[in-house]
Chains A and B, each alone.
Chain A
């Protein structure tokens, strides 16, 4: 065709966006009242239910190998072994990019968390995680937007909240307006969606073969099928395909949050955690995703620059997965998963919250929850952003009086 391409002329490059973030977000660049907080909060929603026992294996548990069966990871010291933390916990080897943060005291692990609700439906659980409720209600506003409402009055028209992605996630939705940033290029199809489409097109004589050929032509088969061969995974990563796309968003988030009068509270999302089939161990689909997450977090740290010292990042997921592998080399919907808290402002290098162990399982299949995710979030909102405890109980997380904030999460 000819050189005209309506998608290009106004393409916003990351560089120019970060350099002129105030402008890009429609913020006035001068004339602010005092900034109430220079502290930053990033919430990463891991959609699809992360297998917490794979991300943070409790290898010190007597029954770890027995319970995890074919999904058990090689022990520390073995080839591709678990990266040790403390108290018998370690990190999945694919999380290596964030392992150094443990030694510097910037990574805190809460090993058995849940949102306090009981559902194994992704949609319902994500809604509850994002609204901060334990059962559905008509009020579909996000808890983080309610938290912004507590901070915003001091800020006038400045937009403290930032959504990274095409739409504002429910967690940030509500009466307080927020900024958003959209990746300049269309994301390639996520492996999970590609796998789902392969099934939806199975019986279609036109779309089925076309998609299969397309996947072959692009060498995406391994991503879709979760094969353990690494070559295509590497290629996909370099293209920003699937897990690699998170890095692009992380770079943008860091740049925008670092800016002098930019946003202070951001939500990022990453999918691909619903590993029912062939999740793999040291390599494979879940490992690729963990690697994408860790790479992205590492990029976030770099792009935040000195602002990293005042940042708390919380990675949450809607629920955990079954302890034992299912019949297809994956895991099914469970109860508790892991919550990561990291950042220069975190009092890390330790495991927080109780650990229920692997002897007694929820319904004989799931890791039991020991810590409510809201307790972690309340601790961060209170100690890092200075929200009043009474507002946390009443406004931000309604009817959560029994969920006490976790203390000492941040350096003060």
Chain B
């Protein structure tokens, strides 16, 4: 198998019409060079930041409340940005993310952004999050994928959108100054997902007591209000912070305000169970649904020894022989399919058809079903109904192709030898170019990576 094609598909979104030629003779070097100077895609400039959208949201709610107080009927049936102009922000984000991924000279960066964004899911299933999820990815995830893991965790946890999504913004210490006066209490949501999903993993050996301790530690981590100078941004509020020492995973954190949370996040990020959990997730994503244990162990060791250095861990991933041996073991997620088909053909979908396609294919952008994010194995994506949807999408997408596109040239550039001879012959016999291109894109070889 041509290593350039493996590299392009395994660590990126595949090869385009010009083949894998940009990669050169040393695919590992090509990949590592991307890590050395990651550039922020310029098409992301100009999108609104999360804080300004949060302010918009808060203002909308405020004016709605005021209208109600005056006995008037608000124009929207439901409160919030999502109901008003939220769809425009959502579509802009989906389109920008797609452009960045499909047009990137550093596709590994885009794949890492998608991986970590899924790891720290904030889902638009909650309407308040929908217009904001893209900003979360751009602000909390993208700048931190090659630094220390603990900084990535911290950026995600402190981001206002995570505060909204996992309710920590409204979590109040029962014995805090405000908690004592009002009937508001602790919300364990973020504390639990931090341990279960983001760091130690469900088998990481923590208890319900640890979940509650972490939730208490993180009380006060909220969002600045309209009247605050930094409104819409992360803000620590002492008056809702649960006072007193807390014991998490056997270690006692004396009362120290926001410092407790900073220390706790650093500690759980460096926990050995976290290294194993992250290593396994990376291996499942980049190698196979059931990754070889030595590969997982190697990644975990690098992660641990480097104190969660994500660039070092990613480099170790690139160097794993297993990454180069298990080609075509992974089924592409709908997102991967749509982006890689766009790269392979040069076709670019307009925002509405793009968003619609992802819905029909079962992976609406920024809309994962739960904080656990999207599944990362073939069972998540291949079933009787979903295979028909995939073929259907390939058919519709292929019809968009310029008539000058030669389906066999697309196949050769994107797949090389991965498309078996008999399949290639069958494609050549198709009744039209769009049918042939649909066959290439729907072929098992293109559906996998």
Contacts and interface: CB of A to CB of B under 8 A. Distances in A.
Contacts of A206: 331, 378, 382, 444
Pick the most buried of A4, A122, A190: most chain B CB atoms within 10 A of its CB.
Answer: A4
A122 B357 CA distance: 29
Given A206-B331, A206-B444, 9 more contacts: A4-B127, A6-B87, A6-B94, A126-B432, A186-B357, A197-B391, A211-B388, A214-B388, A271-B435
Judged by DSSP, the binding face of A is loop
A213 interface: yes
A242 B365 CA distance: 29
B435 A193 contact: yes
B25 interface: no
B423 interface: yes
Pick the most buried of B391, B392, B431, B439: most chain A CB atoms within 10 A of its CB.
Answer: B431
Interface residues of A, number: 52
9 pairs of A and B residues whose beta carbons are closest in the complex: A7-B356, A48-B431, A274-B431, A6-B355, A214-B384, A213-B384, A170-B403, A166-B399, A47-B432
Contacts of B331: 206
Contacts, number: 141
29 contacts: A2-B125, A4-B130, A6-B94, A6-B365, A7-B352, A49-B431, A123-B433, A126-B432, A130-B403, A167-B403, A169-B403, A186-B396, A187-B395, A192-B431, A196-B435, A196-B439, A200-B423, A200-B444, A201-B387, A204-B444, A206-B331, A206-B444, A207-B444, A210-B384, A210-B386, A214-B387, A214-B388, A217-B385, A271-B431
B321 interface: no
A249 to B, nearest CB: 12
B198 to A, nearest CB: 24
A374 interface: no
Interface in B97-127: 124-125, 127
Interface in A318-364: none
A130 B403 CA distance: 10
Contacts of A2: 125, 127
A218 interface: yes
A187 B396 contact: yes
B359 to A, nearest CB: 5
A9 interface: yes
A189 B439 CA distance: 11
Interface of A: 1-2, 4-10, 47-49, 122-123, 126-127, 130, 140, 165-167, 169-170, 173, 186-190, 192-194, 196-197, 199-201, 204, 206-207, 210-211, 213-218, 271-274
Given A7-B355, A10-B352, A167 B401 contact: yes
Contacts of B393: 186
Contact of A193 (B130, B360, B383, B439): B439
B410 to A, nearest CB: 13
A217 B387 CA distance: 12
A166 B444 contact: no
A258 to B, nearest CB: 25
Contacts of B438: 193
Interface residues of B, number: 54
A189 to B, nearest CB: 5
A130 B432 CA distance: 13
Pick the most buried of B391, B396, B400, B447: most chain A CB atoms within 10 A of its CB.
Answer: B391
A167 B397 CA distance: 9
A5 B384 CA distance: 22
Contacts of B364: 1, 6
A110 B333 CA distance: 49
Contacts of B178: none
Interface string B283-303: 000000000000000000000
A196 B443 CA distance: 10
Nearest to A122: B431
A331 to B, nearest CB: 13
Contacts of A165: 399
B209 interface: no
A49 B432 CA distance: 10
Contacts of A199: 426
B173 to A, nearest CB: 32
B369 interface: yes
B362 to A, nearest CB: 10
B432 A271 contact: yes
Given A140-B404, A271-B432, A193 B399 contact: no
B91 interface: yes
A268 B395 CA distance: 17
A123 B405 CA distance: 11
B61 to A, nearest CB: 19
B113 to A, nearest CB: 21
A190 B439 contact: no
B436 interface: yes
B265 interface: no
Nearest to A3: B127
Nearest to A5: B359
A210 B382 contact: yes
A218 B388 contact: yes
Contacts of A122: 430-432
B90 A127 contact: no
Interface in B61-118: 87, 90-91, 94
Nearest to B331: A206
A163 B364 CA distance: 29
B443 A126 contact: no
B230 interface: no
Contact of A200 (B127, B396, B442): B442
A210 B380 CA distance: 13
Contacts of A197: 391, 439, 442
Contacts of A217: 384-385
B180 interface: no
A194 B391 contact: yes
A207 B431 contact: no
Contact of B360 (A140, A186, A214, A273): A186
B402 interface: yes
Contact of A173 (B399, B403, B430): B403
B336 to A, nearest CB: 15
Nearest to A165: B399
A218 B383 CA distance: 13
Contacts of A48: 431-432
Pick the most buried of A10, A48, A126, A211: most chain B CB atoms within 10 A of its CB.
Answer: A211
Interface string B28-70: 0000000000000000000000000000000000000000000
A307 to B, nearest CB: 27
B87 A189 contact: no
Pick the most buried of A9, A122, A170, A192: most chain B CB atoms within 10 A of its CB.
Answer: A122
Nearest to B130: A4
